[in-house]
Amino acid sequence: MPAIKAVTVFGGAASGLDPVCRETALALGRGLARAGITVIFGGGSIGMMGAVADGALGEGGEVIGIIPDFLARREIAHTSVSEMIVTDSMHSRKRRMFELSDAFVTLPGGLGTLDETFEMITWRQLDLHSKPIIICDAGGWAGPFLALIEALIAQGFAPDHARGLYEVLGSAEAVVARLSELPAIEEATAVSRL
Ligand code: AMP
């Protein structure tokens, strides 16, 4: 069993235009299931979210969806997951995702995906946790995101060590290999300060 037992995967409610994005989401789900790592995700059946869940479920993996009640219809809640947790707000959803996972992986996505990823990065910047954050750069999606962070560092708005708050890997296979070798997080997480 890997030390990392459960991973929250953030990703778009759309699949994007480049087919490699959806293929990567499916491959990530499959790879996590084969590695015995539980997939936690936004609970929708559509886009990148649905693909990562479908990939894991197809390999018999454990998949936990976490969705706010108001989004369950709009994002067509997945009906085949191992467990669906319904929350009363976006904030309680994000907090529950945070509590249940040992690490975070970002797949290509839109504004919601950026919000979720930046929140995990900024919580780490504030030393509220030290859980690994991996950005999967499928199809070059992460380029502008990383360039934005570089611009913030160059302008003196983010510290140089901001680059060390996350890792960037190019494929689903590389992400699963990295998660499989990561050690367990030892320290208690400051959930009460979130
Ligand atoms: P998007 O990347 O914009 O396709 O959004 C992906 C998913 O992130 C959405 O389907 C929502 O479930 C979620 N999301 C959107 N906005 C937010 C937000 N402000 N905070 C947390 N999650 C969000």
Element (H or E) spanning 65, and its range? strand 63-68
Residue 75 is predicted with a pLDDT of 80
Whichever domain contains 82, its CATH number is 3.40.50.450
For residue 104, tell me if it sits in a domain: yes
Q: Please state the pTM of the whole predicted model.
A: 0.94
pLDDT tier at 103 (50, 70, 90 boundaries)?
Answer: very high
> Which of 50, 44, 51, 48 is closest to 66 using CA atoms?
44
Element (H or E) spanning 169, and its range? strand 167-169
Pocket of ligand 1 contains residue 78 by CB under 6 Å:
no
Encode pLDDT of 29-45 as tens digits.
Answer: 999 999 999 999 999 99
Position 193 pLDDT exceeds 70: no
Residue 110 is predicted with a pLDDT of 98
Give residue 110 CA to ligand 1 midpoint distance, Å.
8
Could you please report the per-residue DSSP string of 115-139?
Answer: HHHHHHHHHHHTTS----EEEE-GG
For residue 189, tell me if it sits in a domain: no
For residue 109, tell me if it sits in a domain: yes
d(CA 138, CA 39): 19
Residue 171 is predicted with a pLDDT of 98
Give residue 112 CA to ligand 1 midpoint distance, Å.
3
Give buried/exposed letters for 86-123 (b at 16+ CB in 10 A, else e).
bbeeeeebbebbbebbbbbbbbbbeebbeebbebbbeb
Give residue 2 CA to ligand 1 midpoint distance, Å.
29
For residue 161, tell me if it sits in a domain: no
Pocket of ligand 1 contains residue 15 by CB under 6 Å:
no
Task: Check residue 83 and report its DSSP letter.
Answer: E
pLDDT tier at 74 (50, 70, 90 boundaries)?
Answer: confident
Q: How many domains does the chain contain in total?
A: 1
Residue 53 is predicted with a pLDDT of 98
Pocket of ligand 1 contains residue 1 by CB under 6 Å:
no
For residue 122, tell me if it sits in a domain: yes
For residue 149, tell me if it sits in a domain: no
For residue 157, tell me if it sits in a domain: no
> Residue 97 is part of which domain span?
6-140+166-183
Residue 186 is predicted with a pLDDT of 66
For residue 194, tell me if it sits in a domain: no
